Amino acid sequence: MTTTTAPAPSAERFDWTGRTVLVTGAEGFIGSTLVDLLIERGARVRAFVHYKPYAEKGHLAHLIGDPRVETVAGDVRDAGRVTDAVAGCDTVFHLAALIGIPYSYDSPGAYVQTNVVGTENVAEACRRHAVRRLVHTSTSEVYGTARTAPIGEDHPLQPQSPYSASKIGADMVALSHWHAFELPVTVVRPFNTYGPRQSARAVIPTILAQLHAGAREIRLGSLTPTRDFTYVTDTARGFLALAACDRALGEVVNLGTGREIAVGDLARRLVEASGRDAEVVVDPARLRPSGSEVERLLSDNGRARAWAGWEPEVSLTDGLKRTSEWVADHPHLFAPARYQV
């Protein structure tokens, strides 16, 4: 179910040719997919990646030596480094964040430093250098369990984990720069993006990794929560469309399919997509703390459709199949897959 407003002409036709674009978190799952899409559309990409002394390039390894991509190592908590990276950029996509819910219970302060303070540093750097547009990445986790469905952008924010609390704080920092300083910012709120390159900390790749390793039993936490899963290229297309959409200035915009599926049903779909044979069972050790589990997420994507002409293109069936094939082709990234989902 989605808002029935007629779609606008797609903002995806925006011309990125020759524009210098900064992507923070560029080596990650969504970030690297966005980098690939920007290059395809003619942009010059400055990829801001987390510094590693062992020179690991993450999902940007295939772009090493490509003249269209400049890699800048740093940390969004370092205001000076961020300011230098933003200089000369037309558009900034801010995806760098400390992600994952389970670890946020153990180290909530780290989430505040990276997600909230890091966003402040990015927003201030964009203001200093007068960028054309800042696109800040939020998450559907900020909504908590749906009080009404589908979830529109005006749904109450519910910090049901330290992770979601830090992302709420980051969103407010970004929006405050629109209200206080007229910084041209849009907050993009993806719903459960999945696809190739996603790490085993997430439910879909960790299930697939177990299946392709020959597991006959898939152990999960609660099977009843529902999620709205969006394929990664659709999410990346949404980022580009909203970066070109003036109606979205100073606003929050959901990116989701408007369809939901329970985790248990998803697991069974993944068994089918993998071509394997396995049973799905509940593991009490994987259950989240009481009051922290988000029971339902279902997006209202009416703003993205009406304002930017965006709509998802990849069905869940096709997306799960593509993801299964990618996981099967990259077993070294998932051994051993011991993540809590």
CA distance 14 to 246: 12
Average pLDDT over residues 312-326: 97
Q: Residue 247 — very low, low, confident or very high, per pLDDT cuts 50/70/90?
A: very high
Secondary structure of residue 217 in the 3-state scheme: strand
Average pLDDT over residues 40-47: 97
**Digit-coded pLDDT (tens) for 172-213:** 999 999 999 999 999 999 999 999 999 888 889 989 999 999
Secondary structure of residue 181 in the 3-state scheme: helix
Query: Among 299, 308, 221, 249, which residue's Cα sits nearest to residue 13?
Result: 308
pLDDT of residue 54: 64
**Digit-coded pLDDT (tens) for 50-94:** 987 765 667 998 998 999 999 999 999 999 999 999 999 999 999
Q: Which of 21-30, 140-149, 331-340 has the lowest mean pLDDT?
A: 331-340
Q: Residue 3 — very low, low, confident or very high, per pLDDT cuts 50/70/90?
A: very low
Average pLDDT over residues 141-167: 95
Tell me the whole-structure pTM to 2 decimals.
0.91
Distances (CA, A) of 282 to 102, 150, 246: 17, 27, 46
pLDDT of residue 1: 45
Residue 51 bears catalytic tag: no
pLDDT of residue 56: 64
**pLDDT: which is higher, 301 or 9:** 301
Q: Residue 308 — very low, low, confident or very high, per pLDDT cuts 50/70/90?
A: very high
Domains of the chain listed by start with CATH number = 11-334 (3.40.50.720)
Confidence check: pLDDT of 119 > 90? yes
163, 194, 231, 339: the active-site residue: 163
Please list, residue by residue across 185-219, b when 16 or more beta carbons sit within 10 angstroms of its beta carbon and e when fewer do: bbbbbbbbbbbbbbbbbbbbbbbbbbbbeeeeebb
